Structure 1
Amino acid sequence: MSIGEPFVQLNKASVVYRTETGEGRPVWSDVSLAIHEKEWIAVVGPNGSGKSTLAGVLLGLSPISEGTVARYEGLDNGMKGVLQLPEAQFIGDTVEDELNWIPYAQTLPEEARAAWYREVLAAVGLEISPSRSLLTLSGGQKQLFNLAVALATKPKLLVCDEATAMLDPAARMDVLAAVREAYRQGTTIVWITHRLEEASEATRVIGFGEGRVTYDGDPHLFFYGEGEVSPCEALGFDLPFVVQTVRHLREQGVALTALPLSMDELAEAISCL
């Protein structure tokens, strides 16, 4: 999928939070980056590095202290977010209430709306009653439901901040499959995660360290690097299993023609030897 027009442009943006004593605590310093239509961007970094601040800035929840944030006309109001605290995003009391806030739902007759509810929930692997109270959902179900609501609006830009953090492996696969399909249909993805294996889906990686962008570029170069230490390792991370496997193969004299990031890519690269 080719890159399109810029959606959001940050230029020398800084964020300073005020403490109870009135002192400033810098969170971001001099962050410049652009998010373009049709990208899948994985945002990674240690805890407290500033990666979640990006979600707040993009969604207008965290004001910047210096610099500029430009949102381009082509984005309109088509930006949705899935944040770490799902309850903070609820508007209604029940599943049905929440889905009915979506404008498309309001155009559907009652019978068609019931079928649409099932379709929206099934997209993320949920099987729950539309009359169910949101407060009775588990933490993982709440996160899945927030993603279902966001995807149902068919956003132009979807910002996910640790969207799989509370999910078991099967649910994580459901989430990634749903987001992958949204990307295939043209949604731009900003995927903030501490699970490095999820970055294999991305077309671009942005690494944060101590409130600054330490890497912005190709995912393969982020993990494999060009020298002894890759940008991934420079951020203090252990390399994902797939990348470690390729390194061990190289040490044994087995040179792969590709640089795989996923298990499927690794299997294909080995089969071509």
Structure 2
Amino acid sequence: MSFIELSGVSYCYDASGKKGQPALDGVDLAVERGEFVAVLGANGSGKSTLARHLNGLLLPTEGVCLVDGLDTRDINDCRCVRQRVGMVFQNPDNQIIAATVEDDVAFGPENLGVPPAEIRERVREALCAVQMEDYRLYAPHHLSGGQKQRIAIAGVLAMRTQCLVLDEATAMLDPVGRREVMETVRRLSAQGITIILITHFIEEAAVADRIVLMGAGRITADGTPREILEDRSLLEAHGLAMPFAASLTERLRSRGLMLPRDVLFREELVEALCPSN
């Protein structure tokens, strides 16, 4: 059994019972433990609705969502599901509630009834994991947007979560903040934490192990970053553009330069244009 399994999951926000276009429409998805999956799609594709099903914030109108074998619809499993899957949302200011960084990171474990000595150790480990240990006594409002999101991630890690879901977590950040958060995400992935990254930024999706492409509430493609991001027609059909390096490589090839077809990252294009050997 996969760590996360969705089978025939549909969801409609209209509580009136009227039929309409569902936000999710018969989604089947499996995520293995330790996998780094990017869920990519334009606004309105169903990405965020999918994310909120992964720890029971939303429950399927139809179908089943299982987390580590636990059914999100079962009220008795709800707490266990949310301990396994932690969420980080768009706006960092909406996720921080305490007067100091270390108090904010400690909030989750305190509500779980974790003993004080263990809470202190969890806070220390979580802040080290996001490289924010030197800021533990800072007031959060003195931090940058990227730093605040790293604190939000630390708060999830302090609960010993097994999976981190980031729902457009870099959408409100400047380029520096986005880079800080993505560097943190890649380190956590390397440590074996399951990552599900909800994004519309092509360059962020490119660093995942796998990309799930969504449109109109359905999964329309599922493959490696190279399989998905080098397919111009597929991306354009979803209102997305190719990564800059891949698009530039395609244009240079059309003008006669002998470049490989599978360039995805800027570093690969630089190496192709200026070989180090």
Please give the range of the TM-score, normalised by the shorter of the 2 chains: 0.7 to 0.9
* 1:23 paired residue among 18, 23, 44: 18
1:144 aligned to 2:147?
no
Q: 1:129 to 1:34 in 2, by over 3 A?
A: closer
C-alpha distance after superposition, 1:128-169 (max 9, x if no partner): 45262x567665554332123224445321100111112121
2: CA distance, partners of 1:37 / 1:271? 39
Alpha-carbon offset, residue 192 of structure 1: 0.8
Match of 1:100 in 2: 106
Match of 1:59 in 2: 55
2: CA distance, partners of 1:124 / 1:31? 36
8 Å contact from structure 1 (residues 257, 269) kept in 2:
yes
Alpha-carbon offset, residue 55 of structure 1: 1.0
Map 1:77-156; keep pairs closer than 5 Å: 77-90=83-96, 92-101=98-107, 103=109, 106-107=116-117, 116=124, 120=127, 123=130, 128=135, 130=137, 132=139, 134=140, 141-156=147-162
Match of 1:207 in 2: 213
TM-score (norm 1): 0.81
1:267 aligned to 2:262?
no
8 Å contact from structure 1 (residues 17, 24) kept in 2:
no
8 Å contact from structure 1 (residues 126, 145) kept in 2:
no
* 1:250 paired residue among 232, 247, 253: 253
Alpha-carbon offset, residue 7 of structure 1: 0.8
Alpha-carbon offset, residue 11 of structure 1: 0.9
2: CA distance, partners of 1:29 / 1:150? 29
Coordinate RMSD, CA, aligned: 3.2
Q: 1:210 to 1:73 in 2, by over 3 A?
A: closer
8 Å contact from structure 1 (residues 41, 203) kept in 2:
yes
Q: Which moved more, 1:231-240 or 1:91-100?
A: 91-100
Alpha-carbon offset, residue 268 of structure 1: 2.8
2: CA distance, partners of 1:170 / 1:193? 17
* 1:182 paired residue among 181, 188, 205: 188
Match of 1:8 in 2: 4
TM-score (norm 2): 0.80
Q: Which moved more, 1:29-38 or 1:96-105?
A: 96-105
For residue 17 of structure 1, give the secondary structure of its aligned residue in structure 2: coil
2: CA distance, partners of 1:60 / 1:69? 9
2: CA distance, partners of 1:189 / 1:83? 14
Alpha-carbon offset, residue 23 of structure 1: 3.4
State the percentage of identical aligned residues: 38
8 Å contact from structure 1 (residues 124, 175) kept in 2:
no
Q: 1:200 to 1:154 in 2, by over 3 A?
A: farther
Match of 2:67 in 1: 71
1: CA distance, partners of 2:167 / 2:273? 34
What amino acid maps onto 1:46 in structure 2? A
8 Å contact from structure 2 (residues 24, 50) kept in 1:
no
1:158 aligned to 2:164?
yes
For residue 158 of structure 1, give the secondary structure of its aligned residue in structure 2: strand
C-alpha distance after superposition, 1:156-200 (max 9, x if no partner): 211001111121212211111111111111011111111111112
1: CA distance, partners of 2:119 / 2:230? 53
Query: Aligned residue pairs: how many?
Result: 261
For residue 101 of structure 1, give the secondary structure of its aligned residue in structure 2: helix
Structure 1 residue ranges without an equivalent (≥5)? none
C-alpha distance after superposition, 1:196-240 (max 9, x if no partner): 111121111111111111111121111222xxx432122121222
Match of 1:46 in 2: 42
Match of 1:236 in 2: 239
Q: Which moved more, 1:10-19 or 1:123-132?
A: 123-132
Q: 1:108 to 1:33 in 2, by over 3 A?
A: closer
8 Å contact from structure 2 (residues 250, 261) kept in 1:
no
Match of 2:74 in 1: none
Alpha-carbon offset, residue 49 of structure 1: 0.9
Alpha-carbon offset, residue 87 of structure 1: 4.9
Q: 1:125 to 1:22 in 2, by over 3 A?
A: same
Q: Which moved more, 1:121-130 or 1:147-156?
A: 121-130
8 Å contact from structure 2 (residues 105, 151) kept in 1:
no
2: CA distance, partners of 1:261 / 1:210? 26
